[in-house]
Chain A
């Protein structure tokens, strides 16, 4: 157990639907990061939150959004889902900057049918 908790572990949904992925960071970590991993794209950075504020944005689609709540858990919302959104979604956490590494959760496997 890495200390980073992601739910659900698996999600199957239809095109056009909306889903919410949840992440609880490791105790004491203030930064949360979301990554998407697919076979052809590898691990792609989506977005970072630090202590409730958006800190950095990667190639996150407009159909995707995220937030970090006062208790530091984070949610990634994916809407108008397309087949190509099928992937593993990972949450990671770190102390302030993460200069010495991230702790990843076990991921949510999203399948859009």
Chain B
């Protein structure tokens, strides 16, 4: 079983619509990261959230870390075609060196 469960697996929306991607686990994390990956490229770090309940905004992207530090969400407002990509959440348990990734959500924004 995956340490991090992402949903939905695929998301296709029209330009201008909003979307939310979820990342859930039964484990508690000291921090959680979101990455975006485009075809043929490596993942690019978008944000790191550290404190339970934390909300971070990056232009039209809003990231939230759950109060219990077990889950996170990524909300995109007024999506643009440039937001198309694979969104990955990643986290490390406090006693683990390994950074584990969720399976990802493939987001397609249609013009």
Contacts and interface: CB of A to CB of B under 8 A. Distances in A.
A52 interface: no
A106 B41 contact: yes
B83 to A, nearest CB: 19
Contacts of B35: 104
B42 A90 contact: yes
A43 B97 contact: no
A55 interface: yes
Contacts of B48: 99-101
Interface size class of B (residues with CB under 8 A): 20 to 34
Nearest to A56: B97
A101 B42 CA distance: 13
Interface of B: 2, 30-31, 33, 35, 40-45, 48, 88, 92, 96-104
Contacts of B99: 33, 45, 98, 102
Interface in A81-113: 90, 92, 97-107
B104 A102 contact: no
The 8 closest A-B pairs by CB, nearest first: A104-B42, A56-B97, A101-B45, A43-B101, A42-B103, A100-B48, A45-B98, A104-B43
B88 A43 contact: yes
B100 A102 contact: no
Contacts of B33: 100-102
B45 A102 contact: yes
B30 to A, nearest CB: 7
A58 interface: yes
B61 to A, nearest CB: 15
Contacts of A45: 98-101
B31 A92 contact: no
Given A42-B103, A98-B99, 11 more contacts: A42-B102, A42-B104, A45-B100, A55-B97, A56-B97, A99-B31, A102-B99, A104-B43, A105-B42, A106-B41, A107-B40
